[in-house]
Chain A
């Protein structure tokens, strides 16, 4: 493989930015945001240079690597810290740095009133560096470092306003639920090392043929667990809604466009494992299908605009997982949906941030209404993102989501119709809740206080939104024109898959999907546009609505199944520790102390009593000797 010494700068630039901003302290307050944006922007430029070089090379030589240093060398176990930039990583590099830079620009204005803006930008740069390491690492161990790094950055940024206790709790919740997934990744690495003796992508790929299916299934399931945690998939999805406590640019960058899609990257990168382990692959499909419905259903009942978008993110990543679980035919569509989703969801989150900016931080959609007139640019960009997520042709989501639905229908066997229908129903629900968000926020009569003065955001905020909206419109067409992305990624995936007989013609699937979307939109219109929306959420709703409002009881479920038994176990262990372990330790101390107290009484402090005791002792000794001698 060709080498390139420039790869490391992709990571080093934002990392240096983060370090400078964190170490310089308040001195950097004036220029910190500019430096961070410049670092992120130059990483994007480096990515573009790498892309142009990659395009200049023949297909089979497009991947480049860089050996950084010998990391671990113990006996036969050698790990080199190395980077790998191939057709898959470059997509992510450009998405991360591109969207990341736009969000840096947006944040300059969005966070301008915050005292800690410099710290915010330092964390953003740290995130960019960690995420780039995640996608550029050439082994699972390097990936793991990035994986933990983005988890840390996510934690720091969710809890950025940690002066509010519930925000700090949300950060901890996200971190802890992510840890469960991280353990899965760790186990996968351990199993891979124990059975295959290597942890690099290339090494494992070479060894898959000799490895048993059981081993590969175990690795696959552990990797899936990791992906579930990081990508907020069922059953570890509960943290994503609360993660909206972070500033909105963070939600856009980390919890919509990039970090939460790391799970999809992991599955796609590990395609050689999942293709050889059908059970693990089926589990990916099932998890994706459940989550895409789960997230969509939760989205229908959320009044908090950011939480509605978070539920939508969950659901859309469910689509990507579904695509990735379909095997070689689905990987490219999963990645395509990931990229288009990165554009339209980041754009919509920035739109939500713009609305909040104009409404004094209000997030309840029932207090919005009729904002179209006051925020025309936000409305337009959000609307384009809305059309993209619905999958209306020719917007981006149409190409990527329809691709996944079609592939799902053609999966063959009983799986095809089941997963195809799930994806189709999901599209309908998506149309419903996104239309609900649009109607509640931008149309109808205003429901806000007289005190609010909604206004359009400054140019630094709407410019990134406009650029992302352009991406939402065009990225799908550009990526699928002549199967561009499919052919681009093809060398990475096995090509000799058997094409199943198609269940439906593509045009039928498209019509079906658009019909579902139309039904969803129509229901939302009837329900929210025809009737007046109350500014306070009505209480007299069906039990089902109540359950959906509480995120389908996901927190209650986790609390009952894991948290409470965990607390009981902790309390029991604590009791055992206190009674048995501490008891033994304290008992020894008490015994020494008690005997000391008793013996102390013999020490009167009077010289004469000591002298008398010495005398008596001497007499006793002499008597004893006398007795013995006699």
Chain B
């Protein structure tokens, strides 16, 4: 199978993730979309590894996963904390820094 198809899929996933981040208000969904974008990136990296015939891209993907795991821990903690104090998971409600 043509490895370039994985890149197209990756681009599609990234676009879906990016649009989701911009248009959705629910923090959980936004967070999931961010994960989608990260994984789209991972998919590209793995594909590039395959195309170029070396392991650099795959190794990079592992690093991205570790970073993503950390990000999930912190990000979810923040979302839960905001939800507890504001009874809302909407990202538009958390716009207090402007004032």
Identify the A interface with B (CB < 8 A): 603-608, 611-612, 615
Contact = CB atoms under 8 A, between A and B. Distances in A.
Given A607-B91, A608-B23, A615 B96 contact: no
Interface of B: 18, 21-23, 25, 30, 91-92, 94-99
B28 to A, nearest CB: 13
19 contacts: A604-B95, A604-B98, A605-B96, A605-B97, A605-B98, A606-B91, A607-B30, A607-B91, A607-B94, A607-B95, A608-B21, A608-B23, A608-B25, A608-B30, A608-B91, A608-B92, A611-B22, A615-B18, A615-B21
Contacts of B30: 607-608
A612 B22 contact: yes
A622 to B, nearest CB: 12
Contacts of B23: 608
Contacts of B99: 605
A89 to B, nearest CB: 76
A284 to B, nearest CB: 76
A612 B19 CA distance: 9
A612 B24 CA distance: 12
* Dominant secondary structure of chain A at its interface with chain B: helix
Contacts of B18: 615
B22 A606 contact: no
Contacts of A611: 21-22
B95 A605 contact: yes
Contacts of A604: 95, 98
Given A606-B95, A607-B92, 16 more contacts: A603-B98, A604-B95, A605-B95, A605-B98, A605-B99, A607-B30, A607-B94, A607-B95, A608-B21, A608-B22, A608-B25, A608-B30, A608-B91, A611-B21, A611-B22, A612-B22
A-B residue pairs, 10 tightest by C-beta: A605-B98, A605-B95, A607-B91, A612-B22, A611-B21, A606-B95, A611-B22, A615-B18, A606-B92, A608-B22
Contacts of A603: 98
A608 B92 CA distance: 8
Nearest to A600: B98
Contacts of B97: 605
Contacts of B95: 604-607
Which of A603, A605, A607 has the largest count of B CB atoms less than 10 A from its CB? A607
A606 B96 CA distance: 9
A281 to B, nearest CB: 80
A603 B96 CA distance: 12
B38 to A, nearest CB: 14
Contacts of A615: 18, 21-22
Contacts of A606: 91-92, 95
Contacts of B96: 605
Contacts of B91: 606-608
B29 to A, nearest CB: 11
Nearest to A619: B18
A605 B97 CA distance: 6
A608 B23 CA distance: 7
A612 B95 CA distance: 15
